[in-house]
Structure 1
C-alpha cells in the first residue's frame, strides 16, 4: 500500500521544476535573505550576542600582552605624544589654537574610534568565515559587534582623555553632557561605514591592505592636528565647504566643543548638529541596506 502511494506521488511530481516542487511541499531556500523588517528583528533579538561577542574579542585582543587592556589607553596616548612632537613642536601647527594639547588629544581619541571601527569592519566577514559557515545568524552582527568593541575601547580611553582635559586647565561644565548625543551619532555613522566596507571586504580581500592608507589620508584632512578656522582665509570657499562636510571633522569638532570651554560655538562648522545627524542617517541606513542585500553571499565561494 505504501509503495503504491509513493509511486503515485512520484508520477504526480514528474515534469515539475525544482522551484515548483519546493512550492508544492512548502520548502524554502537555505540561507535565503529574509525581508528587511524580519532581518532587523532577527538582528535586534541577537543584541546580547553582539555585546558578548564584542566584550570577548576585546578581552582576547590584549590577553597576550603583559600590560593587557592598559594598551587601550596607552595606544592613543602614545599617538598623541608623537603627533604633538611632529605637528605641535616641529611644524608649529599649534599657532592660534588655545590649549593645543587638549585639542590634539581630543581629535586623536575621537578619530581613532572611527578609524578602528572601519578597519575592524572591513575584516569582520573575511576574518570570521568559520563562524559564518558553522552558525546561522544575521551577518550584520559581525560589523556591528566590531563597532561596539571599538566603542567600549573609546569609553575606557575617555576617562584618560577627561583627565587630560582637566589637567590642561579646561573646566568641567554641563557641556560635557553633549558627549552622549555626539558619540551616539558617531557610533551609528561608524556602524554604517563598517557594514558597507564589510560587504566590500568580503569580496575584495585586498581592501583590508588598502584601507590603512585611505584612513591615514582621511585623518590628515579631518582637523585632527590643525584648525579649519585657521585655514579659512587661505583656501577657496568650495574647499572650505568640503572640509565642513567631512564627517570625521564634524565629530572631532563636536567632541571638542563638548569638552573644551576654549572651543566656542562660533568656531563650529555651520549647522554642525544637523550635518552630523544627516551623516549618521545616510551612512547608517545605506550601509545597513547595502550589507543586507548581499546577506546570502557571505561565507560562500
Structure 2
C-alpha cells in the first residue's frame, strides 16, 4: 500500500497480512486444513469403510476369479486343493499312524475333511492378510482409501471360497451317513464367528506384514505348527487322554480347534457334544469379538504409515 509524506512525496509501505506470524497449526485450524494422509478418527474410519463396501466386495470377487485363472481346471482347484490335502492326511494319519482311533471310518473321514476345509479357511485368510499391504503397494500409494479395505476383502475372498467348497464337505458327510437335520443350521453362526476371527487376525497380520515383509516367508511354518496343534487330523481329547488335562484344554480352546469342532458337531452325526470343551459357544464368540475389534483398532492405529518408505 502507499501513503503521502509531509513533503508531498509518495512512499510505499509493506502490506502486513493478519495471518503473518501465526503458527502453522493455528493457520490449519483457521482455514480447515488437514494433514495429507492423516489417520481419521475411528468412527470416521468405519464410515469410510462402509462407503467403500461395494469396492471391498467387488475386489474380493475379482481376486477370487483371478486366483486360478492360469490353471486349466480354473476354480475347481478351490475344492481340489483341500480335498487332495485331506486324502494325503488320511493316508498318513488315518491309515499309517491310525490317528483316527476311537472313531469309526464313517466318522473319521468326515471329521478329517471338515477339519481340513475349515482350517484352510483360517490359514488362507492369514496368508492373504500378511501380503495385503506389502503385496499391493502400487494400489496403496496411488489411491486414497481406508487401507483396512484390503485385508477385509481378502478375508471375504476366503469366505466365498469356503462357501463354494462346502458343497464337497456336504457330499462327503452325507456319503458317510450324516444327513441334513436341524443341527446343520448351526453352520451359519459358526461361519460368522470364524469369519470375524479370521478378519481380525488378517488385519493384525496385514499391519505386521506391512512393516516386516519377510514375515510372509515365516508364516507357512507357523501355520503348519498351528494346524498340527489344533487337531485337524486327530481328536485332541482322544489322543491326549493319557496326558494332563490342562494340555488338552489349552489345545481345544485355541480358536482354530474350536471352530473346527463346532463345524464337526454341526455336520457329523457321530460327533457329539462330549467331544467339545466346556462353554465352547461362549469361548468361540469371545475369540471372534476379541480379534475382530482388537485387530481392527490395531490396524487403524497405523493407518497413516501404510505404503510409506
Q: What residue number does 1:61 align with?
A: 67
Stretches of structure 1 that go unaligned for 5 or more consecutive residues are: none
Q: Over the residues paired in the alignment, what is the CA RMSD in angstroms?
A: 1.5
Q: CA deviation at 1:232?
A: 4.3
Q: CA deviation at 1:239?
A: 1.2
Which of the two has greater helix per residue?
A: 1
Q: What residue number does 2:196 align with?
A: 188
* Cα distance in structure 1, aligned partners of 2:247 and 2:274: 20
Q: What residue number does 1:158 align with?
A: 166
1:52 aligns with 2:50: no
* Cα distance in structure 1, aligned partners of 2:53 and 2:301: 21
- Within a 5 Å distance, the mapping from 1:1-301 to structure 2 comes to 7-9=15-17, 12-98=18-104, 99-301=107-309
Q: CA deviation at 1:224?
A: 0.4
Stretches of structure 2 that go unaligned for 5 or more consecutive residues are: 2-11
Secondary structure, in 3 states, of the residue corresponding to 2:147?
coil
Secondary structure, in 3 states, of the residue corresponding to 2:307?
coil
Q: CA deviation at 1:31?
A: 1.0
Q: What is the TM-score of this pair, normalised by structure 1?
A: 0.95
Cα offsets for 1:155-197 (capped at 9, x unmatched): 1100011001101111221111110000000000000000001
* Cα distance in structure 2, aligned partners of 1:231 and 1:271: 21
* Cα distance in structure 1, aligned partners of 2:115 and 2:20: 68
* Cα distance in structure 2, aligned partners of 1:95 and 1:238: 22
Cα offsets for 1:231-284 (capped at 9, x unmatched): 342111221221122100000100000100111112211110000000001111
* Cα distance in structure 2, aligned partners of 1:67 and 1:7: 75
* Cα distance in structure 2, aligned partners of 1:233 and 1:117: 32
Q: Is the CA contact 2:230–2:252 (under 8 Å) kept in the aligned structure 1?
A: no
* Cα distance in structure 1, aligned partners of 2:65 and 2:252: 37
